[in-house]
Amino acid sequence: MKSAAAPPQFSGPFALGTFSAEGTTAFPGLVVPEGRALDLVSALGEPGLTTRSILERWDTLLPRLHGLARDTTHGWLPLEGLRVHAPVEPRQIFQSGANYRTHVIELAVAHEPEDGRPAEQVRAEIASMMDRRAAEGEPFALIGLPSSITGPYDDVVLPSWCEKPDWELELAAVIGAPAFRVTPDEALSHVAAYTIANDLTARDLVFRRDMPEIGTDWLRGKSAPGFTPLGPWLVPAAFAGDPSGLQVTLRLNGQVMQDDSTKDMIFDVARLVSYVSQVTTLLPGDLVLTGSPAGNGLHWGRLLRDGDVMEGCISGLGVQRNRCVAEVTR
């Protein structure tokens, strides 16, 4: 059973998660900093309740969650006896690409231009391009598969066909109210909560060498089962603080690889949510991943291997911990 091995470590008086006990169906739970969870199906008296259905009634249920968090008469359960699942099952996942200035510069240098330009020249050119993009451009978003979601403490299987699996720890905005063609000023009112996502990438498969004219292949590059560890918690937006001032840190086997602030984002959460909503309707429980800061494996020249342990932390949102396991093929 994969459960939280440490206190929840989130901001605010409570957060939401999805849990199960041995042999039981998963249930949405209210979790408090003391390390206890409350089964919301029982507490609210609503069979079939999920975190997504809570988000669909977020404005109505949030006051009740505040009350339950203060109520000690219900049957609270210790986290140690529970399995912690991904906190929500989204219908849609939108992944922001190239949204951290330093990260984009690092990737450009790591890909070693074939024309032999010096690394410092490439760095300066990309930095100038990022400045222009921030001032005049628009975000870039990919579409992810819900089947790539896995729990915050589950093993991540590295596919046998992937030679260069890489980590990308990201802040994820969780939608509450449906959003269609909202402005940046309106966008954050549609975000119910924030959580942690590790948006793994198969670096060797992003670009199609057999069809260079077709561009990128995000199906193979990002969509393998388990390539998006999510959670552990949904921290209500009111508790999470300024989403442009959070620290994103990933450790690989205890060594810090990513450690940067969300203030390095080219487009902030409001711009990203607004941008996606111009094309499609964002629904309760949907995720808008905000991009990865600098410090990926491609930069370090060290990709994921069997037995590696990734520990991802975003200030105020908790910690996720995933072990990498090589796929066993027949």
Retrieve residue 18's tokens. 């999805």
pLDDT digits (tens, 9 = 90+) for 239-297: 999 999 999 999 999 999 999 999 999 999 999 999 999 999 999 999 999 999 989 99
Q: What is the pLDDT of residue 300?
A: 93
Helix residue ranges, H only, 10-81: 40-44, 51-56, 58-70
pLDDT band of 131, cuts 50, 70, 90: confident
Q: What is the pLDDT of residue 114?
A: 58
Evaluate if residue 123 carries a pLDDT over 80.
no
Evaluate if residue 137 carries a pLDDT over 90.
no
Q: Check residues 316 and 9 and name the one with the higher pLDDT.
A: 316
Q: Are 125 and 139 in contact (CB under 8 A)?
A: no
Q: What is the pLDDT of residue 208?
A: 79
pLDDT digits (tens, 9 = 90+) for 73-114: 888 999 999 999 999 999 999 999 889 888 777 776 666 555
Dmax over Cα atoms in the chain, in whole Å? 69
Q: What is the pLDDT of residue 112?
A: 59
Contacts of residue 259, defined as CB under 8 A and 6 or more positions apart, other chains included, come to 247, 248, 249, 250, 295
pLDDT digits (tens, 9 = 90+) for 141-198: 999 999 999 999 999 999 999 999 999 999 999 999 999 999 999 999 999 999 999 9
Tell me how far apart the alpha carbons of residues 260 and 152 are, in angstroms, rounded to a whole number.
21
Q: What is the pLDDT of residue 2?
A: 61
Tell me how far apart the alpha carbons of residues 28 and 42 are, in angstroms, rounded to a whole number.
10
Q: What is the pLDDT of residue 248?
A: 97
| DSSP state, residue 87 | S
Instruction: Mark 88-124 as b/e (b = at least 16 C-beta within 10 Å).
Output: bebebbbbbbbbbbebbbbbbbbeeeeeeeeeeebee
Domain with CATH 3.90.850.10 in the chain: 93-326
Q: Are 16 and 29 in contact (CB under 8 A)?
A: yes
Retrieve residue 92's tokens. 């849609």
Q: What is the pLDDT of residue 3?
A: 60
pLDDT band of 23, cuts 50, 70, 90: confident
Total-model pTM: 0.91
Look up tokens 């006051």; give the residue. Answer: 63
The number of angstroms, rounded, from the C-alpha of 240 to the middle of its chain's C-alpha atoms is 14
CATH class of the structural domain 93-326:
alpha beta
pLDDT band of 115, cuts 50, 70, 90: low
Beta strands 36-39 and 27-32 are antiparallel
Q: How far apart are the first and last CA of the chain?
A: 26
pLDDT band of 299, cuts 50, 70, 90: confident
Q: What is the pLDDT of residue 51?
A: 98
Retrieve residue 309's tokens. 């342990």
pLDDT digits (tens, 9 = 90+) for 205-241: 888 788 878 888 888 889 999 999 999 999 999 999 9
pLDDT digits (tens, 9 = 90+) for 48-78: 999 999 999 999 999 999 999 999 888 899 9
